[in-house]
Amino acid sequence: MKIADRCVVSIHYTLTNSRGDTLDSSRGSNPLTYLHGFGALIPGLERELVGMVAGDTCQVRVEPVDGYGERNAELVQDVPLAALANIEGLEVGMQLQSRSPTGQVQTLVVEAIGDDSATLNANHPLAGEVLHFDVRIEQVRAATEEEIAHGHVH
Ligand code: ZN
């Protein structure tokens, strides 16, 4: 069966960045199983899998616009260290949770610490990255009516 909307698809994948660093991989554990056509994968990957069948392999290059977006400079802010005084062991690379003005929880990464301020980045960690997926299709089946109604795999 070919991958199309309303299919349940299992894939093994390895994700690398342009420098060849492995960022994520399903290999060595369970394949990723998702409902195709419901936005479960980033658009640039999901689109390329259409029409493939179990056993097929492919390499997909995803530009930031079809992945996690471009890095937005407005999401990088300098915050006075005094405002972060209650955070223990503040260091570069640390992830902080904060609530945005609209009430959403954001993850901020500490990018730099200066004498009196720290640079916090609220972009997705993969924003601005060109992503390289190495994919093998493991299984494709029709979704059940219940799965389609729920929008996820059972
Ligand atoms: Zn359900």
Mean pLDDT (whole number) for 101-123 = 91
What is the C-alpha separation between 101 and 95, in angstroms, rounded? 19
Ligand 1 mean position to 70 CA, how many Å? 33
| pLDDT value for 109 | 93
45 touches 15 (CB < 8 A): no
Per residue in 138-154, pLDDT (tens digit) is: 999 999 999 999 999 99
Name the pLDDT band for 128 (thresholds 50, 70, 90).
Answer: very high
**pLDDT for residue 103 is more than 90:** no
Taking all residues of the chain, what is their mean pLDDT, rounded to a whole number? 94
More confident residue, 102 or 18: 18
| pLDDT value for 22 | 96
**Strand, coil or helix: 79:** strand
Q: Output the six-digit token pair for 62.
A: 């995803």
CA 87 to chain centre: 27
* pTM of the complete model: 0.78
Per residue in 84-100, pLDDT (tens digit) is: 999 999 999 999 988 87
The label of the residue with tokens 């990018």 reads 111
Ligand 1 mean position to 37 CA, how many Å? 16
What is the C-alpha separation between 80 and 40, in angstroms, rounded? 38
Q: Which residues are within 5 Å of ligand 1 (an ion), measured at CB?
A: 150
| pLDDT value for 121 | 94
Ligand 1 mean position to 146 CA, how many Å? 7
| pLDDT value for 102 | 84
Mean pLDDT (whole number) for 54-82 = 95
Ligand 1 mean position to 72 CA, how many Å? 35
Ligand 1 mean position to 42 CA, how many Å? 21
Smallest CA-to-CA distance from 135 within 7, 6, 34, 39 is with 34
Name the pLDDT band for 106 (thresholds 50, 70, 90).
Answer: confident
Name the pLDDT band for 104 (thresholds 50, 70, 90).
Answer: confident
Mean pLDDT (whole number) for 74-85 = 94
Ligand 1 mean position to 90 CA, how many Å? 40
